[in-house]
Amino acid sequence: MALTGTYVPSTSEWVRNQVEQYEATDGGEAGTLPGTDYPIVVITSVGAKSGNLRKNPVMKVERDGAYLAVASKGGAPENPEWYYNFVAHPEVELQDGAEKHVYTARILEGEERADWWEHAVATWPTYAEYQTRTDREIPLFLLERA
């Protein structure tokens, strides 16, 4: 079942614009990280504090029908805001092109995390660089169809 609530667009102009264009064209436009050819998906989550719907473009890291959301924030010392949304409300909606489904997000640990981290870095090598920029272990969320 699709998430319901009031959608509040990002305060970041590039995020707002990319999400709007991606959704309007079912991923036909704005389907890559700006300035690259790396594909993205759009994830809708419920705000941890506000309860409002939030939408974020994230790198597409997929395997066997499950997706990975890498809370890298470019290697910043703190987690992205959507990290807290996923923890508080693990039911999310992911749009990959025209396909949109509800997923359950869970944080990965141990060997499962190590396996998915390797896959994430193989998919987008910049993640390895991001990890060198921060002292925190970058959290990984596995998104599985609800």
CB atoms within 10 A of CB 112: 12
The pLDDT assigned to 3 comes to 94
The runs of H, that is alpha helices, within the chain are 13-24, 81-88, 110-123, 126-132
User: Percent of the chain having pLDDT more than 90?
Assistant: 95
Q: What average pLDDT does range 51-66 have in this prediction?
A: 97
Cα three-residue angle 40-6-22, rounded to 5 degrees: 25
Contact call for residues 143 and 68 (beta carbons, < 8 A): yes
The token pair at 124 is: 């987008």
pLDDT digits (tens, 9 = 90+) for 89-144: 999 999 999 999 999 999 999 999 999 999 999 999 999 999 999 999 999 999 99
Q: Identify the three-state secondary structure at position 21.
A: helix
Place of tokens 């997000």: 105
Rounded to whole angstroms, the Cα distance separating 74 from 76 reads: 6
What are the residue ranges spanned by the domains of the chain?
13-145
> What's the topology of domain 13-145?
Pnp Oxidase; Chain A (2.30.110)
* pTM attached to this predicted model: 0.95
Rounded to whole angstroms, the Cα distance separating 18 from 52 reads: 19
The pLDDT assigned to 2 comes to 84
Contact call for residues 71 and 108 (beta carbons, < 8 A): no
Q: What average pLDDT does range 17-43 have in this prediction?
A: 95
